[in-house]
Structure 1
């Protein structure tokens, strides 16, 4: 009989849930934790600076999620082309910082709060606007990073 295997993120490479982390996994877990703390603190700062009423559009959550998607596009393109051998880069910046920065749970709670406050139009707008802006933001991040890196390589190699 085979024991089920939990999926493992290819960048993180930590053991399955419930398994004892291998010594080599501790630096990865530390990088994710440190990055997550930085990302969450940044998100909290932006949310505090841009508060909204329950019936108002959640601009801070929208800004955080869309900018996080843009940055993940830049990060993944740059990591693949510039820093492929850096073991802790994606766990720290991608899973940690940007994972702690972006927030699907607050997005959902903002929608719920708008509905509870009697603002179904705001809830619907937030529901549609975030993915409508976030997906192109990832594409833009990838495209801009790719264009800049291609330009820099051509400039360097004549």
Structure 2
């Protein structure tokens, strides 16, 4: 267990979470709250940022592992885990694993929403 990696995740995650909160509030003020614009904007911009970072790490930036973790797992992960989902999906596509890609993408969305619905049902029936 590397303490500097844990601190990188913690500090980056705090910054990403604050950014997510502020973008969500700002989107609500700009576009209203009838549609989850904030979440959509956060997922798109977080995925874009993850793509920029992954591309830069692969082609131009030779950063220490702690800095990479700070930026990706920390900031991007605190901002939105959808960015990691997007990156994982890209790597599966890039490797030509199209069945695995489809299973991962559909499974992630359907099972995650299903888990939330199931949990909400359980909690509501207990009340």
Q: TM-score range by the shorter chain?
A: 0.5 to 0.7
User: For residue 19 of structure 2, what is the aligned residue in structure 1?
Assistant: 42
Q: Which has the higher helix share?
A: 2
How big is the shift at 1:85? 4.7
TM value normalised by structure 1: 0.47
User: For residue 51 of structure 2, what is the aligned residue in structure 1?
Assistant: 73
The CA distance in 1 between the partners of 2:63 and 2:77, in whole Å, is: 21
Equivalences for 1:87-106 in 2 at 5 Å?
A: 87-102=65-80
Is residue 35–residue 96 contact of structure 1 (8 Å, CA) maintained in 2? yes
Equivalences for 1:2-151 in 2 at 5 Å?
A: 21=1, 25-51=2-28, 52-53=32-33, 56-102=34-80
The CA distance in 2 between the partners of 1:102 and 1:94, in whole Å, is: 10
Structure 2: gaps (5+ residues): 91-127
TM value normalised by structure 2: 0.58
How big is the shift at 1:82? 2.1
Give the paired residue count: 83
Structure 1: gaps (5+ residues): 1-20, 105-130, 139-158
How big is the shift at 1:84? 3.2
Higher-Rg structure is 1
**C-alpha RMSD of matched pairs (Å):** 2.3
